[in-house]
Amino acid sequence: MTQQLAKRIVQWLLAIVIIAYIITGFGITEYRIVESLTLGLLTKPLAFKIHNNLWIPFVALLILHIYQGTRDLPTKN
């Protein structure tokens, strides 16, 4: 796997996790709207559970993302 592909995968996964954070956040505060929009799939307790646990992939992906972004920065001299 090329480094470029690995970067792309991490970038997309990070974007998905951030979107999931926002959706599940509204799934807690605006659960009536979110429940009906998701045909009853994303209930308030489920949104709460997901929102509370998303920090694990979020932190892991953020660390990977920063690592990949700083690895090939130009160095002095």
Q: Which residues bind ligand HEM (CB under 6 A)?
A: 18, 21-22, 25-26, 28-29, 51-52, 55
| Nearer CB in complex with ligand HEM: 18/46 | 18
User: How does DSSP classify residue 62?
Assistant: H
Question: Can you tell me the distance from the alpha carbon of 49 to that of 59, in angstroms, rounded to the nearest whole number?
Answer: 17
CB 38 → ligand HEM: shortest distance, Å? 15
Residue 51 · residue 27 · CB < 8 Å:
yes
CB 40 → ligand HEM: shortest distance, Å? 20
**Alpha helix positions (H), the chain:** 3-29, 31-37, 44-53, 55-70
CB 58 → ligand HEM: shortest distance, Å? 6
